[in-house]
Amino acid sequence: MVHIVIDGYNYINRVRSSPILDSANLEMLRRALLEKLAQYKRRQGGRITVVFDAQESHSPSRHRENHKGVDVVYSKEHETADDVIIGWVREKRAGVVVVSSDRAIIDEAKRAGVPFMTPPKMEEAMVSCKEHDKDEGEESATAQTKRGNPRKLPKKLRKAAKSLHKIKP
């Protein structure tokens, strides 16, 4: 089973085109990311963990929560999300895929042989998955609208065949 580990604030900063101005905006962006990941998890399955920096907090331990099936980890005091992710990469947990554009995390993932992707690539994967689901939904909707015996000719062709039988001697 795949376990996707995402550097939360790195992801938000790399996918957004405009700068983050205040903490309220940051909280909104964090919630939007978690909602998007929860939808992706419902479609794809697997396990998703998002790690956020909380080095400004005074918590002596990591804080964990769950948002609609997505695990959220906040680093402890004097620890960054990078430190948490690099620690997990060094443990070489099976099935881990790291999502970050941070050079230190990518270098450590390469050294440990752990697959990684950048936030724009992950965003692309989520969008293509969503579009694929839409296409399947449209195909199933059109398949459900067809009715009648598939072996029977359409009414117009049956009428034409009947009129041809009348003409023959």
Q: Where are the domains of the chain?
A: 3-124
CATH number of 3-124: 3.40.50
Average pLDDT over residues 116-130: 84
pTM of the model: 0.70
Q: pLDDT at position 5, please?
A: 92
Report the distance separating Cα 123 and Cα 138, nearest Å. Answer: 23
Pair 5, 95: CB distance under 8 Å:
no
pLDDT, one tens digit per residue, over 13-58 is 888 766 666 666 778 888 888 999 998 888 888 889 999 987 566 6
